[in-house]
Amino acid sequence: MRTDTPPASVLARRAFRAFNRFMVLLWRLGLGPWLNAWPSVGGRIMVLTHTGRASGQRRRTPLNYTIADGDIFCAAGFGPGSDWYRNILRAPDVELWLPDGWWAGVAEDVSGCAERLPLLRAVLRASGFAARLAGIDPDRLDDAALARATSGYCLVRIRRAAARTGPGGPGDMAWLWPSATLLLLALRLRPRRARL
């Protein structure tokens, strides 16, 4: 029997990409800090700006993260095939949109480091509901079970190099809020025509 419905994995990836675009839009509207207001539920979310390895174009990917010793740590949950992960291996100079600002940084794979498991546990805890949705409860799994569950994950450390400012950063579309408010106010206050 032939079906034209794509497999569940393809549908899940499409949904994930659409959700990522929505998250980046929220950051561009200036709502990034609000997304991080309740990290135990929604997680700690940043936007990683990286360079496409084939296109050379700048790409933005929302990721869960944790901070340890001043460095940012995140994980490629889909493993070494994740596009953003492959991009940072080729071009490690990245930018970060964090609740405390916009940063230039340098990314590196640290999957082989001695602290891999506790750092991954911290990233998963910082993902709010996302880790549990993927079937991983970082608070209930012991080290051996967590190591098995995350064996395909790649751990990435990003060292912040300098603060960034200027156009093209988080909140670059925040001007829409006052514009939309003024438009709605003008529509509300306009004189109404009398009905005959």
Reduced to 3 states (helix: H, G, I; strand: E, B; else coil), residue 50 is strand
Distance CA(141)–CA(9), nearest Å, equals 25
3-state secondary structure of 196: coil
Chain centroid offset of residue 144 CA: 27
Q: Read off the pTM.
A: 0.84
| CA 12/CA 26 separation, integer angstroms | 21
Instruction: Look at residue 155 in the predicted model and tell me its pLDDT.
Output: 97
Query: Tens of pLDDT along the chain (196 residues)?
Result: 455 666 766 776 777 788 889 989 988 998 888 888 877 777 899 999 999 999 999 999 999 999 999 999 999 988 899 999 999 999 999 999 999 899 999 999 999 999 999 999 999 999 988 888 888 899 999 999 999 999 999 999 999 999 998 888 888 888 787 777 777 787 778 777 756 5
Would you call 168 helix, strand, or coil by DSSP? coil
Cα–Cα nearest to 174, from 21, 31, 36: 31
DSSP 98-138: ETTEEEEEEEEE-TTSTTHHHHHHHHHHTTTHHHHHTT--T
